[in-house]
Chain A
Amino acid sequence: EAQVTQNPRYLITVTGKKLTVTCSQNMNHEYMSWYRQDPGLGLRQIYYSMNVEVTDKGDVPEGYKVSRKEKRNFPLILESPSPNQTSLYFCASSLTSGEQFFGPGTRLTVL
């Protein structure tokens, strides 16, 4: 089954404690991205990757890092999380048309 998976689905952490949210897709898509979803703001792109070892900033990259060492994986790293990063995070992989396939989401709370 074609899918995008994310782990963990729910995470509660404290300010400053480094965390990683994993993302994996089995559709051999070159393009992957991370979004955060906040009420009234829709989805905002954090980072994206056009291919292995090629990443770039989206609209709200501050406080986040990513890596793309393999085509299928695109982890999101928060080196020092802060409460304003409490949000719902979605990973997506994409066809060249822009049509995106979303993971199930990770709800992060930073205390």
Chain B
Amino acid sequence: AQSVSQHNHHVILSEAASLELGCNYSYGGTVNLFWYVQYPGQHLQLLLKYFSGDPLVKGIKGFEAEFIKSKFSFNLRKPSVQWSDTAEYFCAVNPRMDSSYKLIFGSGTRLLVRP
């Protein structure tokens, strides 16, 4: 079955530290990839997305992600986190050859940034 794994369930960082959140998926075909962010008490918002082309994609608020096809990974990075980045982050995969609208989510990573 298709699945998305986020290995870090909880991450605690100090402000200005660098961030990398791992995401791996199990699907052999072509995929669209997403990172969503959920700030405390809010709904999910799109952080960035990858459909094709340059595997390094830039999103909002200084986030970026790199698609490594050979590793089935789409890791999220930010060079210097801020207290306002405290949120839960979800990786999601759309298997393009399957139902074209379906989105499979990882279990999420809770990030706490200490001032």
Residues in chain A within 8 A of chain B (CB atoms): 31, 33, 35, 40-45, 48, 50, 90, 94, 96-100, 102-105
Residue of A with least CB distance to B101: A31
Is B24 an interface residue when CB atoms closer than 8 A count as contact?
no
Residues of chain B contacted by A104 (CB below 8 angstroms):
42-43
**Separation of A43 and B90 alpha carbons in the complex (Å):** 9
Residues of chain B contacted by A103 (CB below 8 angstroms):
43
Residues of chain A contacted by B103 (CB below 8 angstroms):
45, 94, 98, 100
B73-115 interface (Cβ within 8 A of A): 90, 92, 94, 96, 100-103, 105-108
How many of B's residues come within 8 Å of A, CB to CB? 23
Interface centre among B6, B34, B42, B105 (most CB of A within 10 A): B105
Task: Please determine whether B101 and A102 come into contact, CB atoms closer than 8 angstroms.
Answer: no
Pick the contact of B105 from A43, A48, A99, A105 — CB < 8 Å?
Answer: A43
* Listed A/B pairs (21) with beta-carbon separation below 8 Å: A33-B101, A40-B9, A40-B107, A42-B105, A43-B44, A43-B90, A45-B102, A45-B103, A50-B101, A90-B43, A94-B101, A94-B103, A96-B100, A98-B32, A98-B96, A98-B101, A98-B102, A98-B103, A99-B34, A102-B43, A104-B43
